[in-house]
Structure 1
Amino acid sequence: MKRVLIIKTSSLGDIVHTLPAINDASLAIPDIKFDWIIEENFSEIPTLNDQIDQIIPVSIRKWRKNLLKFRTSKDFSELKRKLSLHHYDAIIDAQGLLKSAWLASKAVGNRYGFDWASAREPLASIFYHRRINVPKDIHAVERIRILFSKSLGYVLNSSEGNFNLTYDQGNDKYVILMHGTTWFSKHWPEESWIKLSCLLSKSDYKVVLLWGNDQEKARAERIAKNSEANVLPKMKLTDIVSLIAKATGCISVDTGLGHLSSAMGKPTLGIYGPTNPVLTGLYGSRRQNFLSDFPCLCMSKKCPFSLREDRSCRGFEELTADIIYDKFIKLVGDEGVSNGFEYPKNKEKDK
C-alpha cells in the first residue's frame, strides 16, 4: 500500500480544488491511502471523500501569531506525533507557500512540490526533494492534477476532474445567494443582490442568505429587509453542505462556498470581476462563470477602477441582476455544463 501525505491547509476554495487530483491518483493507484494536513476550520471537507484515511487538523492562522510559543505547545507535540506514525511514500505540498512547505518538512518521506517558477511563494520550493514545473496559466484544479500525476508517476487522462464527494442529495425549491467574501473588490453590489432576490421570489423560489461574520450578517439583513430573502442562522460547514445538497442551485461571487457548490454538482453561477475565471473559476458538472465585458481582472482586494464607495469591482457594473437571473434560470434547466465563461449582452443597469 502506498501512503501519501497532502499539505493543503486553506482556503476553502483551494481545498475543494485539490479533490479531483486525489480521485485521479486513487484510480491510477488502487491501493493508495491519503493523509491530509488541513486547517481545522475546513477539516470537515475531506470527510466527504472516502479516499482520505487520516485528517490532521492544524491552526496555522492561530499559531503564526506566536510561533515561539507554538514550538513548545501541546499542539506542536501532537502534530509531530501524528506525522511520526508513518514513513510516507510521498509528501505533496499542493499549496506552494512557505508555511505549507515548512509543514511538509516535519513529515518523513520524499517531498514533492511546485518548482521556483510555479510556486506561489518561490522560496517554498527549496524545501522539496523534487520540484515540479506546472504552468501558471491554467485552472487551479488542473495545476494540482498535474502536480499529483508527476509526483506519483501516473499518466493524467484528459477528461474533466471528478470531485468524488459523498453526501445526501435533494431538490427543494430554494436558491442560496452566496454574497460573502473577504475581498471588498469581489462584492457584487447590494442593490443587485436585492433585485436578484426579488426576481427569484417572483418565480416562486425561496431565497436564503448565508453569512460567516458580523459584516456578512449585516449585509444579509440589509438584502433581506429590502426583498423576500431569508437570513439563515450561522451554520457549521457540514450543515452548509446539507443545505447546498438540497437546493435548486446557488449564485455566488468568487468565494469558497461557491466552489463547494459547484464541486457538489449543483447548478452554480459564479459572478466574476477582479479575479480570473480561467484560473480560479467554478469547476464542476453544472456551473457557469460569468464575467463582465469590462473584464477588470485586477487581482486586487481594492479594485483600482472602482467608482463606488463600497469599493466593489467596476467590472460588476455590466453584470445586472436581470442578466444574472436569466442566466441562472437557463442553467437550472440545462442538464449539461456551460463551459468557460460568458460576457453579458445587455448593458442595462439595475434601477
Structure 2
Amino acid sequence: MKVLIVKLSSLGDVVHTFPALSDAARAIPGLVVDWAVEESLVPLVQLHPAVRRAIPVPLRRLRGNPLAAWRSQEGRAVRAALAAERYDAILDAQGLMKSALIATLARGRRHGFAWGSAREGVASLAYGRRYAIPEVEHMAVRIRRLFAAALGYALPDLAPQRALGVPPAEPGTPYLVLLHGTTWSTKTWTVLRWRELAQIAASEGLAVRVFALGEAETHRAQAIARDLPEVEILPPLPLDRLAPILAGAQGVVTVDSGLGHLAAALGVPTLGLYGPTDARLTGLYGPKALELRAFRPCAPCESAHCKIAPHTLEGPPCMVDHAARAAWRALNVLRFGHADRTQRNAAPATR
C-alpha cells in the first residue's frame, strides 16, 4: 500500500502524527509512505524510518501572493511532486483549508476528519472519506484513530508506544536539557525559576544545556546562564542535529513547545510545565512523559494574553506557581521511578 500523509506544520503537530505512522507501519507490511510538509520540517519528518520521501511545501514563501505562487516555478514543482504517482490513500491529518488544498493536488482517494472533527470544518469537503473523531482525546490519539479507520486496521492499545529511534549524541558528561523557548509569553517560565532548576541539577552532578533559537530565546538563555558555569548555550541547529542532543539527555524540562513534544517522542524522560494550554488535548505524548499542570481556576485559558496579570512579559501566575524543586522531583519520578535521586535502580515511570 502506498500512502501520502499531509501534515504541514507545526513541529508539535508533526510529532503528534508519528505514533499513527508507527501504528500503520506495524499493521501493514510493505507500507510505502510519502509526507507533504512545510520545508523547514523536512529533516524532522525524515527521522521516522517509515517515511520514504518528504515532499517540501514552502508555504511561508508561497502564501504571501497565492495566485503568483500558484504560477511560480516553486508552485509548479510542488504540484509536480504531489502528482508524480498515484496513492492508495491520501491522509490529511491536519484538517485545515491549506492542508486540504495540498491534498487535492495529489492523486488518490482523500481521507480526513469530518466537519465537526476537523479544525476547519469546511476542509472536510475536500475528502472522499470523512471520519467523526471528537476532540475529547489527545490529538495524537485522534490521529491514530484516523489512520486506523482510513487504512483498515485495529488499535488494540492506545497507550504511547515505543520511542522514536534516534541515536543519541556522543556520550560525555550527563546533562539535562532545559527548553525555555515558546511562542506565547503566557507559556513561559521565569528566568529565576530556570536558574533555580539549573542550580539544583548542577548540585546533583548534571550539566545543563539550553538552546538559543532566535533573538528572544538568546536573551533569555544568556540570562539563565549568567554566572552559572554549568549551563551551556547551544547555537541554532537544524532539527536532525537537535534530535540527537535531546535523545542523549538524562532528562528534559520544557514549557509547551515543539521541541518538548519531540523530546517526549524520543522516549527521553520529559517533564512539561503547563499553564494556559490544555495538556489533556495537546500535552506531551510519549512513554516517559509527564506534565505539571496549573491548578488555578482560570487555567487552561488557551490565551496568549494573561487576563489577571496583563502586563506580565514572561512567567504568568499559573506558570510561576510551578516551583523548581517540584519540577526536579517530578523529573526524577520519570528518570528513576522515585523522587529521591538515590533510587537509581528503580524502574522508570511511564505515562
Q: TM-score, structure 1 length as denominator?
A: 0.92
Greater shift in the superposed pair: 202-211 or 227-236: 227-236
Aligned residues, how many? 338
Select 1:329's aligned residue among 288, 307, 332.
Answer: 332
SS in 2 for 1:117: coil
Once residues 11 and 146 of structure 1 are traced to their aligned partners in structure 2, the CA distance between those partners, rounded to angstroms, is 20
Would you say the 8 A contact 1:294–1:318 is kept in 2? Answer: no
Superposition deviation, residue 165 in structure 1: 2.5
Once residues 314 and 99 of structure 2 are traced to their aligned partners in structure 1, the CA distance between those partners, rounded to angstroms, is 31
Map residues 111-260 of structure 1 onto 2, 5 A cutoff: 111-162=110-161, 165-169=164-168, 172-228=173-229, 229-260=231-262
Corresponding residue of 1:44:
43
Once residues 311 and 333 of structure 2 are traced to their aligned partners in structure 1, the CA distance between those partners, rounded to angstroms, is 30
SS in 2 for 1:24: helix
Superposition deviation, residue 336 in structure 1: 3.0
Once residues 221 and 324 of structure 1 are traced to their aligned partners in structure 2, the CA distance between those partners, rounded to angstroms, is 21
Corresponding residue of 1:347:
none
Superposition deviation, residue 331 in structure 1: 2.2
Once residues 251 and 39 of structure 2 are traced to their aligned partners in structure 1, the CA distance between those partners, rounded to angstroms, is 27
SS in 2 for 1:50: coil
Superposition deviation, residue 311 in structure 1: 5.0
After superposition, give the CA deviation of every residue in 1:207-228 in whole Å (9 maximum; x if it has no partner): 1110211111111001111534
Superposition deviation, residue 197 in structure 1: 1.1
Corresponding residue of 1:275:
277
Would you say the 8 A contact 1:49–1:164 is kept in 2? Answer: no
Once residues 108 and 128 of structure 2 are traced to their aligned partners in structure 1, the CA distance between those partners, rounded to angstroms, is 9
Greater shift in the superposed pair: 319-328 or 86-95: 319-328
Give the unaligned 5+ runs of structure 1. Answer: 340-351
Greater shift in the superposed pair: 156-165 or 72-81: 156-165
Would you say the 8 A contact 1:177–1:252 is kept in 2? Answer: yes
After superposition, give the CA deviation of every residue in 1:109-137 in whole Å (9 maximum; x if it has no partner): 11111111101111111111111100201
Sort the Cα spacing of 1:42 and 1:254 in 2 relative to 1 into closer, same or farther, 3 A.
Answer: same
Superposition deviation, residue 325 in structure 1: 1.6
Once residues 326 and 163 of structure 1 are traced to their aligned partners in structure 2, the CA distance between those partners, rounded to angstroms, is 24
Sort the Cα spacing of 1:163 and 1:90 in 2 relative to 1 into closer, same or farther, 3 A.
Answer: farther
Corresponding residue of 2:286:
284
Sort the Cα spacing of 1:66 and 1:177 in 2 relative to 1 into closer, same or farther, 3 A.
Answer: same
Once residues 115 and 55 of structure 1 are traced to their aligned partners in structure 2, the CA distance between those partners, rounded to angstroms, is 26
Q: TM-score, structure 2 length as denominator?
A: 0.92
Map residues 307-318 of structure 1 onto 2, 5 A cutoff: 309-318=312-321
Would you say the 8 A contact 2:163–2:287 is kept in 1? Answer: no
Once residues 311 and 327 of structure 2 are traced to their aligned partners in structure 1, the CA distance between those partners, rounded to angstroms, is 20
AA aligned opposite 2:267: G
AA aligned opposite 1:137: V
Would you say the 8 A contact 2:137–2:281 is kept in 1? Answer: yes
- Percentage of identical aligned residues: 37
Corresponding residue of 2:55:
56
- Does residue 16 (structure 1) correspond to residue 15 (structure 2)? The answer is yes
Give the unaligned 5+ runs of structure 2. Answer: 338-346
Sort the Cα spacing of 1:276 and 1:117 in 2 relative to 1 into closer, same or farther, 3 A.
Answer: same
Select 2:302's aligned residue among 299, 303, 313.
Answer: 299
Superposition deviation, residue 159 in structure 1: 4.0
Would you say the 8 A contact 2:43–2:238 is kept in 1? Answer: no
After superposition, give the CA deviation of every residue in 1:58-110 in whole Å (9 maximum; x if it has no partner): 11122111212211111111111112221111111000111001100111111
Once residues 128 and 17 of structure 1 are traced to their aligned partners in structure 2, the CA distance between those partners, rounded to angstroms, is 21
Once residues 240 and 291 of structure 1 are traced to their aligned partners in structure 2, the CA distance between those partners, rounded to angstroms, is 26
Once residues 122 and 104 of structure 2 are traced to their aligned partners in structure 1, the CA distance between those partners, rounded to angstroms, is 14
Would you say the 8 A contact 2:33–2:52 is kept in 1? Answer: yes
Superposition deviation, residue 169 in structure 1: 3.2
Greater shift in the superposed pair: 66-75 or 5-14: 66-75
